[in-house]
Amino acid sequence: MTSLQEMGEIRQGMLSLVVFRDVLDDAVGRSFSNLITRLMGPANLETLLWAYGDWMGALAARGMGWQEHLRDRILCADNQFSRQAAQGDLELLPPALLDVVRWDLRVLQKVYGVVCEDIVDWMREALPELGEIPVWYDDVQAEMPDPFLKWFEVNDWGDYVVQLSGQYARSGIGEFVKFHAFRYADDRLIGLNTPDPIALEDLVGYGWQKDALVQNTAALMAGLPALHVLLYGSRGSGKSSLVKALLSRWGDRGLRLIEVMKSELSGLPSLVERLRSLPNKFVVFVDDLSFEEDDESYKSLKVVLEGTVTARAMNVVVYATSNRRHLVREFYGDRPRPKDADEIHNWDTVQEKLSFSDRFGMTLTFEPADQDTYLEIVRHLVKRAEIVITPEDLEFKALQWATRNNGRSGRTARQFVDVLLGERSDFRA
C-alpha cells in the first residue's frame, strides 16, 4: 500500500506533468485529482464522500477500473510526443523533450500504482467514523490482448519510451485508436461505436468489382499508390455495403473509414491535411454522390482527387458511390447554341461537368442484378442465416418477393431473407 506521504509526492508529480498532462484532464482524472487533494487536506466526512462518489461515478460512466482507464488514456494520448512518434520520427525530437516524456511516464506509473483499496484505507485512516463504502476492484491480473501492454508491468516506464513510440506508430493516436469508423460533421470527427458489422464474406455477386476494390485497398494498406474509386450503378446492388465491409478485413490493422456527407465536402481538403501525418490508412466514404447544376461543392472534392501543389496524402483514398455515371447534373439547355452568347467557351463548362467522374482513378460499374445473380445472393444469405427451406420453395418465394417489391437487387434479397427469418422464428405477434 502506498503511504500518505508517498501520495503527497504523487500529487506533486501530477501537478508537474508536461507532455502527458491531458491523460488526467478528463472527468475521471479530474475527480481523482480532487479526491487526492481532499485527502491531503483537513478531513471532512461530507466533502470526502462527495469527492469519492464523483470519482467512482466517473469510472462507472466509462465502465472500467482506474488502472484500465489510465492504460487507455496513455495509449490514446494525442500530444507532441505521440504525434511525432506516430510518424516514426522519434529521432527528430529534442533530447530535452524525451527527458520530459520519461519524467511524465514515471509520474504516471506511480499514479497507476494507486488502487481503489488504497484510497479507502486512507479515508478510514483520516476518518475512523467512515462506514462501509463501495470499492472498485481493478482486475490487475486480467489478460491484456496486445503483448505490448505488458510494458505496464515493468519496473520503470521511463525506460520504455521507444516501445511506446512504436505502439503509436502501429496503432495511431487519439480517437483513431478507439474507433474504426467516423462521421465527419461541422469540421469534427465523430467516432461511431457501432459501425455496420457487414463482412466481405457476406457479399456475393459482382465478383470482379469486389476483387478490384479489395486489391486497391490492399495496396493502400501496404503503403503503395492506391486509386480513388467511384462505385457507380444500380440502386441496391451493394455498393455502399462493399465499402463498409472493408473494415471487417482491415479495421484491426489500422484502416479507418470516415463517412462524409455531400453537405460537408467543403471541409474535405482540410480534413485530408489533418489525416496525412497519421500512421493509419483512411477511406473517405461519400455515399450517394451527385451534384446539381449550380452546386459547386464538387470543386472541394476535385481538389482532393486531383491534388494541389501539396503532395498527395498517400494514406487517404476517396471511395464514392453514385447511381449516376455523370456526377454533375447536366441539361440539354447547358449545351451551347449559336444564338447563345452568354459564355464564349461554354463547351469547356460542359466538359468540366461531364469529366468530373473521370477524376476518379477507378470506376466500378454495378449492373442491375439478373435473375441468376439475385437468386445466388438469396441462397447465400439463407445459408448464412441457417434457414431451412427447400430450394424450390425458396426460389418461388424469392422471385415472388422481388416482383411485388423493389425488383431484383442485393438489397431486395436482404429484405426478403430478413422477412423469411422472422417468419421462421419463435416470435408470434
Q: Is residue 229 predicted with pLDDT exceeding 90?
A: yes
Helix, strand, coil percent values for the chain (each to nearest 5): 55, 10, 35
Secondary structure (H, E, C), 152-171:
HHCCCHHHHHHHHHHHHHHH
- Give the Cα separation of 340 and 332 in Å (integer): 13
Cell of 243: 465499402
Helices (H), 283-326: 298-306
Per the listing, cell 506521504 goes with 5
- Give the Cα separation of 28 and 108 in Å (integer): 14
Q: Which of 71-85, 213-227, 251-265 holds the top average pLDDT?
A: 213-227
Q: Is residue 322 predicted with pLDDT exceeding 60?
A: yes
Whether the Cβ atoms of residue 271 and residue 258 lie closer than 8 Å to each other: yes
pLDDT in tens, 130-143: 888 888 877 654 54
Q: How close are the terminal C-alpha atoms of the chain, in Å?
A: 59
Q: Is 366 helix (H, G, I), strand (E, B) or coil?
A: strand
- Give the Cα separation of 257 and 34 in Å (integer): 38
Secondary structure (H, E, C), 139-155:
CCCCCCCCHHHHHHHCC
Q: Is residue 343 predicted with pLDDT exceeding 70?
A: no
Q: Tell me the pLDDT band of 331, cut-offs 50, 70 and 90.
A: very low
Per-residue pLDDT, 296? 63
What is the arithmetic mean of pLDDT over 41-57?
Answer: 89
Per-residue pLDDT, 146? 60
pLDDT in tens, 149-172: 667 777 899 988 888 888 888 888
Whether the Cβ atoms of residue 176 and residue 278 lie closer than 8 Å to each other: yes
Contacts of 158 (CB under 8 A, 6+ apart): 102, 103, 105, 106, 109
**How far is CA 396 from each of CA 374, 385, 407, rounded to the nearest angstrom?**
12, 18, 14
Looking at residue 356, what DSSP letter applies? G
pLDDT in tens, 104-133: 999 999 999 888 888 888 888 888 888 888
Higher-confidence residue: 314 or 369?
314
Q: Tell me the pLDDT band of 312, cut-offs 50, 70 and 90.
A: confident
Q: Is residue 402 predicted with pLDDT exceeding 60?
A: yes
Q: Is residue 346 predicted with pLDDT exceeding 50?
A: no
Q: Is residue 1 predicted with pLDDT exceeding 60?
A: no
Per-residue pLDDT, 291? 66
- Give the Cα separation of 241 and 383 in Å (integer): 19
Cell of 113: 500504482
Query: How many C-beta atoms surround the C-beta of residue 75 within 10 A?
Result: 20
List the 188-191 sheet strands across, edge first: 188-191, 181-185, 255-260, 281-286, 316-322, 229-233, 362-366
What is the arithmetic mean of pLDDT over 296-308?
Answer: 72
pLDDT in tens, 167-193: 888 888 889 988 999 999 988 999 998
Q: Is residue 330 predicted with pLDDT exceeding 60?
A: no
pLDDT in tens, 242-292: 999 999 999 988 899 999 998 888 888 899 998 988 889 999 999 888 766
Q: Is 138 helix (H, G, I), strand (E, B) or coil?
A: coil
What is the arithmetic mean of pLDDT over 351-373?
Answer: 76
- Residue 293 dihedral angles phi and psi, to the nearest 5°: -65, -30
Contacts of 98 (CB under 8 A, 6+ apart): 161
Q: Beta 188-191 vs 181-185: how paired, if at all?
A: antiparallel
CA torsion through residues 425, 427, 428, 429, sign: negative
Report which of 217, 226, 202, 122 is spatially closest to residue 414, judged by C-alpha positions. Answer: 202
Average pLDDT over all residues of the chain: 83
Per the listing, cell 454522390 goes with 289
Q: What type of residue is 299?
A: K
Whether the Cβ atoms of residue 86 and residue 169 lie closer than 8 Å to each other: yes
Whether the Cβ atoms of residue 170 and residue 85 lie closer than 8 Å to each other: no
Q: Is residue 394 predicted with pLDDT exceeding 50?
A: yes
